[in-house]
A and B are shown apart, each in its own frame.
Chain A
Amino acid sequence: MLGLAADRLRADMNRLLSFLFHQGILDEQFLQLQQLQDETSPNFVSEVVNIYFHESEKLLRNLRSLLVDREFSDYNKMGIHLNQFMGSSSSIGAKRIRNVCLAFRAASDQNNRAGCLSALEVLEHEYCFLKNKLHELFQIQQQRVLAAGVRYPMQH
């Protein structure tokens, strides 16, 4: 049973990845990140993604605090946060988040506060979703590592 764990985990991982790519949640940039992971930087992807989570939560919080302020008028300041969020999201391949950011930017360009607010909500939602999925992914990968460490007398 356990001997099949590695296969199943790999299948799980592939399925999750396929799902994420298929749904446009991730794009080729994420693949590029995976390719950058090698012996010299074995945890590259998870490191980058963790930094991304940390930074993004800060940025999202900033964006929200800016927008809920009644006297909000500084679209430029918001634009800076948004730009950074967009840059980092696209750098890890979070395609959908990046697209939402584009729409957010459009609303911001038009000084459309309500539009920005709704864009922010979608953004938060998307971010949460991505975070969950990436957690799953990392978790599966860890399980794979564990499973790979198990030695069985019979080869599959």
Chain B
Amino acid sequence: MTMEEKLGGSNGEDGGRDRFPIGMRVLAVDDDPICLKVLENLLRKCQYHVTTTNQAITALKMLRENRNRYDLVISDVNMPDMDGFKLLELVGLEMDLPVIMLSAHSDTKLVMKGITHGACDYLLKPVRIEELKNIWQHVVRKKKPDSKDQINASNQDKSRGGTGETGPTSSSSDQKVSKKRKDQSEDEDEEGDDNGHEDPSTQKKSRVVWSVELHRKFVSAVNQLGLEKAVPKKILDLMNVDGLTRENVASHLQKYRLYLKRLSSVATQQANMVAALGSKDPSYLRMGSLDGFGDFRTLTGPGRISSASLSSYQPGGLFGRLNSSAALSLRGISSGVIQSGHSQTLNNPINGFGKIQPAVVPANQNQNGTLFQGIPTSINQLSQNKPTNHFGEFNRCNDPNAFGVATNFQDARVMVGGSSNTLPVSSGNPLLLQSNTQQTQHSGGAFGNQPSSLGVTSLNQEPFDMNVRGSSNFLDHGRCSENWQSAVQLSSFPSNALSASETFSHEQLPSNNLQESISWTSSHLSGSPLDLSSSMANPANLEDSRGNISQVGLNNNVIQNIDYTTKQQWGDSRHDYNGNMNNSFSRGDSLVPASGPMMDQSNVISDKMNDVSLFSQFSGDSTYVVPHLDGEKSAFDTKSRSNDDFLFETKPQNGFNQNSFEPLENIMMSMIKSDQNNETPLMDGEFGFDAYSLGSCI
């Protein structure tokens, strides 16, 4: 093993790679600090090498710095600075890394969206370690098309240091793929067998960067051959580019096909919309009047994009078709966009959309990026909104955004910003690069980065793809129309728990004796130093574990907050529980557990009733009052029965809180202060319940 490690060469930076999947390098992105921390530790437990960040933008930056530093990316879907799907696409396009999506929401549409955006997998929170133990398969799978066929056989071979192959690749650890890949593939071709295979993890995956130039060649080759007849081998020959492998072309072709498919399906919709809408030619024309470069940079009007880009676009039957549909749709889009500007809450950045073009120009060109920055935040907040969503996605889109725009018309996508990429295909590289440089200096709102990233040759590779994906998404995104009724089946009613807990506390009190109850309180105090010290230790841990998070601010923030929180918590618990209960968010005790004394028998009943009652609550049933704490069984029953009637009513709940709050407080107070068991019956029942049930558990 060690010998291979040495032979592995470059793997100096992560020694465990030869023992793949051990040491697989994962980048985890999630804005939720809890999930991130848990995920990080779970991944560490799987013996992966983990880097974490809570910002998608940071993740992108890290990935762009060195694509070969990571094998796999795990990303949350809902993030404030960038949509997870967008990140997914960018990573897939630019770095061709496998990306796993993570979400608390298992909505089918979201999962579908993830898949169509190219996710390797879609995991649901909470993530279990068993699932994480298998994620390395995606790395292997991804590597397969890139490496030679022989590789498959010996891929997992842990013993393989991939000496021959990884030698050259590792030495030139930086990308700029083509040369490396050429060497690599040539080597592989010649050697032709297991020796070639590097473990997927060791192979310095030199990813092909689909620059504008490259993509243009590709597209022209495809056009020459005809889309249906285009096969990777022929395309490759036609393109005549060094260092490009058939596999690269094949995967690119696949993406391209997908893009076109989406495009065409949306285009028809667009045509309909356009027809319905009539025309706003003036704006369209106005937008179209800008010269190419101006369009390129300002890109707000779809018309501009289309006119400039389409005209200069390479001819081809395929694109001819697209042109026409796009032109049609563009018209509709411009009108739609303008309309949407009014209807959206994103009005601020998009006010007077028609006028926005000049405004956008400076925004784009300056690095103030106020427009951009304003947009991302609002977008992010409204990420579920279709318009917003589209807007975000549109930003990503490139020129064939003109097509993308068309597609998104339905949801009145606002097209701001993303345009910078518009002319990737049509215009020459210089334009692209120019705009890129401008954008790259952008102060870094999500969208600021995107244009730059798009400008970066790597991204422009798949303008079509991005559009396609973008367009298909908006239809579904943010639509959570499913009923979560099934989710309402709670396993146990809160009331049970609380009453049980009361008893539990009771039980604790007597068993601990008064002294203990006192010591219990005092231990809060004595315990706090410990807790605080441990929380002091926390910052250190946190810092270590989060060392990779570029947001130092967050680190400090979290650490301080933890300290504060800890102190706060202990402080709170020093008072009696009322302190806690009196918190603003403790008013939830409106749902006072009802069935104190009747826990045993009523458990069954309450379990059944709970689902009903709880759901009825959420349906706005105002009259369902949790039975009084003293537990009148009859009252509970009648109320429960009456709940069935109210199951789907939607009455406002006003007095709901009042009634139940008192009893709960009483309980808490009595719990804390009680010397005797003034709730003996409760106690006995509970105690017995606890003892037997818990005893059986232990």
Contact = CB atoms under 8 A, between A and B. Distances in A.
- How many interface residues does chain B have, given as a range? 35 or more
Interface string B99-113: 000011100000000
Interface in B272-305: none
A106 to B, nearest CB: 3
A121 B492 contact: no
A138 B524 CA distance: 10
B438 interface: no
Contacts of A128: 580-581, 583, 585-586, 588-589
Contacts of A129: 494, 497-498, 501
B681 interface: no
A64 B584 contact: yes
A106 B617 contact: no
Nearest to B573: A135
Given A54-B565, A118-B656, A21 B650 contact: no
A124 B589 CA distance: 7
A118 B38 contact: no
A142 B504 contact: no
B3 interface: no
Interface string B559-587: 00110011001000100010011011111
B541 interface: yes
Interface in B508-530: 508, 520, 523-524, 527, 530
B78 A112 contact: no
B625 to A, nearest CB: 12
B643 to A, nearest CB: 13
Contact of A32 (B42, B478, B534, B585): B42
Contacts of A35: 45
A54 B78 contact: no
Kindly name the residue among B32, B33, B383, B385 whose own CB sees the greatest number of chain A CB atoms within 10 A: B32
A115 B501 contact: no
Nearest to A117: B653
A121 B587 contact: yes
A136 to B, nearest CB: 8
Q: Interface residues of A: mostly helix, strand, loop or mixed? A: helix
A22 B694 contact: yes
A61 B588 CA distance: 12
A36 interface: yes
Contact of A127 (B31, B381, B585, B622): B585
B437 interface: no
A18 B697 CA distance: 6
A103 B484 contact: yes
Contact of A114 (B537, B589, B651): B651
B38 A48 contact: yes
Contacts of B227: none
A12 B510 CA distance: 13
Nearest to A44: B41
Nearest to B611: A103
A36 B45 contact: yes
Tell which of B105, B129, B585 has the most Cβ of chain A within 10 Å.
Answer: B585
A65 to B, nearest CB: 10
Contacts of A107: 618-619
A148 interface: no
Nearest to B127: A91
A85 B595 CA distance: 28
A50 B656 contact: no
Contact of A124 (B527, B530, B587, B698): B587
A103 B104 CA distance: 14
Contacts of B566: 50
B485 A91 contact: no
Given A19-B690, A114-B651, A54 B583 contact: no
Interface in B616-643: 617-620, 622
Contacts of B496: 23
Given A15-B694, A44-B41, A122-B614, 18 more contacts: A22-B694, A24-B492, A25-B497, A51-B558, A61-B584, A80-B384, A93-B126, A96-B490, A102-B484, A103-B490, A103-B618, A114-B652, A115-B618, A122-B590, A125-B586, A128-B580, A128-B583, A135-B573
Interface of A: 11-12, 14-16, 18-19, 21-25, 29, 32-33, 35-36, 41, 43-44, 46-48, 50-55, 57, 60-61, 64, 74-77, 79-80, 83-84, 86-88, 90-93, 95-96, 99-100, 102-110, 112, 114-129, 131-133, 135, 138-139, 142-143, 145-146
Interface of B: 31-35, 37-39, 41-42, 45, 76, 78, 80, 103-105, 125-129, 381-385, 478, 480-485, 487-488, 490-492, 494, 496-498, 500-501, 504, 508, 520, 523-524, 527, 530-531, 534-535, 537-538, 541-542, 545, 558, 561-562, 565-566, 569, 573, 577, 580-581, 583-591, 614-615, 617-620, 622, 650-653, 656-657, 690, 693-694, 697-698
24 contacts: A19-B694, A23-B497, A54-B558, A60-B585, A64-B585, A79-B480, A83-B103, A84-B104, A90-B126, A91-B38, A96-B494, A102-B484, A105-B105, A106-B483, A112-B650, A114-B653, A122-B614, A125-B587, A125-B590, A126-B494, A128-B585, A128-B589, A132-B501, A135-B573
